[in-house]
Structure 1
Amino acid sequence: MMLASLVLSDARFPGGGHVHSGGLEEAAERGLVTDLTSLHAFLRGRLRTAGRVAACAAAAAADRAARAHPVPAGPVPAGPGPAGGDGDGDGPAERRWFVATADWAALDAALDARTPSAAQREASRAQGRASLRAVRAAWPSPVLGALLTAHPRPHHPLLTGAVVGATGEPPSAAARCVAYLAVSGPASAAVRLLGLDPFAVNAAIVALGDDLAAVVDEAAALAAGPPEDLPAPGAPVLDLMAESHVHHHRERVRLFAS
């Protein structure tokens, strides 16, 4: 059994996930989430929107990582192209570099476009960057180099998908990991913020099993397709609350960064 997706979904993974509430802190502050019933509705809505976007992006990243052709180890002759060579794309190493970098850049742009809130984009990149050191230590791979060439602060779903795919797990494993994190993080925050019964909160997560399975199935089906085919469900309330949270975070101390 592959361990990457399990380790990455573990709350103890040193990736900084504990400082993000996925919008739950702002929702609780506004009285939108006050009990288990409203928490379940919040988690289900988040899974079907932001979680769905992230899970599909992670599955696509896992697919690219599994099929990646990274630049071989060792120096590449200097030249105008980003991977060296003469820049005309004739060298096999240069072609591999361009293909891998273009794939990651396209996925990065697609996820940016599907995350209209600047605050949510920043939270995703902050968590991706925070996870990078632990990921490199546990799963060193040339695939990570190609991803970082596309953007030095990778989105967390793309980093997660890259690791899962590079270690041999299928895109569905990456989607399941990221979809689970989309609800487990806010659920954990709800225990701290609202004092809810942790056993009941855990049961609320389990109750989302069918919704999570549907998200994973869709993500796996779209993983090998073009980035423009990835879903783009809107969540205006989550977007607005993310922007509001950043504003409030500057004014007074908050427990969570997002």
Structure 2
Amino acid sequence: MSLATLLLLADGRLPSGGHAHSGGLEAQVSAGRVGDLDGLAGFLRGKLATSGLVAAAFAAAACHRTLGTSPPAHLARATPPAHPPRATPQPAHPARGDQTPPLYFVPDISDLDQGLDARTPSPALRKASRAQGRALLRAGRAMWAIPEIGREPHQPVALGVLARAAGLGPLEAAVAAAHGTVTGSASAGVRLLGLDPYAVHGLLARLAPDCDRVAASAAARAGDPVDELPAAGAPLLDIGAELHATWEVRLFAS
């Protein structure tokens, strides 16, 4: 596992569209439920324990689906083939004495995508997740050989597939998902509430152990059937997202 690669995947500057979303915070600020640093802390803890856990679990599961395979070295380039095969054996190299040719494996993640649909009652949140998944795949294909998994997977599913393509495992995928759950909304809090960015990052530092615990719990269940993966919900986020989608003027897309 490369720590530098994990940092790259979790970097908020990755051009994956996350900066355009508040993770539901804008609606809660407008409703008066979050108004200061303490309110933001409560929001982030609640989000991490619910939608953050779900995102981490599905990212870990998507990564787990491809643990036994990896793209051949000659396919580890920025631009994948136009129509990547589902399982194309590569010839063994006699000089290396290979016994089993590697496979370029495209995982079937449709059930994970459907599982996230079922766990996301809000159409607005489903749309936001798929938009971010599409953007994340576009960014990932500029860096690694990404299998064809559909045009608009949910963001956690896309994150898990990217993590595996980058050589990371389910735990690292879960860490990136949990980290992104809190950092995106925290950054939005600085803009929405005019909070001190140093104080907000101090809050993120205090939340880091919680992110680690959520990620570890999620990764431990990466091999579970979809129906048994975490399904924690946050009804106020769903309601807020639907109201937010009707606004004519807003700072964030979601």
- TM-score between both structures, scaled by the size of structure 2: 0.84
Q: Which moved more, 1:61-70 or 1:174-183?
A: 61-70
Return closer, same or farther for 1:2/1:206 CA change in 2, 3 Å cut-off: closer
Q: In structure 2, which of residues 233, 249, 252 is the aligned counterpart of residue 253 of structure 1?
A: 249
Aligned residue in 1 for 2:52: 51
Write the deviation string for residues 93-145 of structure 1: whole angstroms up to 9, x where unpaired: xxx99x955x301111111111111111111000111222211111123xx21
Distance apart, 1:16 and its partner CA:
0.7
**Distance across 1 between alignment mates of 2:188 and 2:181:** 12
What is residue 134 of structure 2 aligned with on the other side? 129
User: How far 1:247 moved relative to its partner?
Assistant: 1.0
Q: In the alignment, does 2:62 pair up with 1:66?
A: no
- Structure 2: gaps (5+ residues): 87-102
1:58 positional shift? 0.2
Q: Output aligned runs, 1:12-23, within 5 Å.
A: 12-23=13-24
Q: Which residue of 2 aligns with 1:90?
A: none
Q: Is the 8 A contact 2:145 2:165 kept in 1?
A: no
Matches within 5 A, 1:37-48: 37-48=38-49
**Which aligned runs of 4 or more in structure 1 are off by greater than 4 angstroms?**
72-76
C-alpha displacement at 1:8, in angstroms?
2.1
Q: Deviations over 1:56-87 (max 9, x none)?
A: 000001111223588x99899xxxxx97xxxx
Alignment match, 1:119: 124
Measure how far apart 1:209 and its partner are: 2.3
DSSP-derived class of the 1:181 partner:
helix
CA contact (8 A) 2:56 2:219 kept: no
SS for the counterpart of 2:22 is coil
1:178 aligns with 2:174: no
Distance 1:66 1:255 in 2: 39
Q: Aligned to 1:208, what secondary structure does the other structure show?
A: helix
Q: Between Structure 1 and Structure 2, which shows a larger proportion of helix residues?
A: 1
Compared CA separation, residues 67 and 228, structure 1 to 2 (3 A): farther
Native 8 Å contact 1:2 1:168 kept in 2? no
In the TM superposition, what whole-angstrom CA distance separates every residue of 1:209-242 from its partner, at most 9, and x where no partner exists?
2321221111111012211110101210111001
Q: Residue in 1 aligned with 2:93?
A: none
Contact 1:25/1:193, CA 8 A, preserved across alignment: yes
Which amino acid counterpart does residue 41 of structure 1 have in structure 2? G
1:55 maps to amino acid:
A
Say whether the 8 Å CA contact 1:2–1:169 is kept in structure 2.
no
- Tell me the amino acid that sits aligned with residue 198 of structure 2: F
In 2, the alpha carbon distance for the partners of 1:74 and 1:191 equals: 41
Aligned residues: 231
| 14-23 or 162-171, larger mean C-alpha shift | 162-171
RMSD of aligned Cα (Å): 2.5
The AA in structure 1 aligned to 2:16 is G
Counterpart of 2:35, as a letter, is: T
Distance 1:239 1:75, change over 3 A: closer
Report % sequence identity. Answer: 49
Conserved 8 A contact 1:2-1:167: no
Partner of 2:100: none
Q: How does 1:77-96 map to 2 (within 5 A)?
A: none
The TM-score with structure 1 as length reference comes to 0.82
CA distance, structure 1, for counterparts of residue 193 and residue 137 of structure 2? 31
Measured in 2, the distance between the counterparts of 1:2 and 1:211 equals: 20
SS in 1 for 2:50: helix
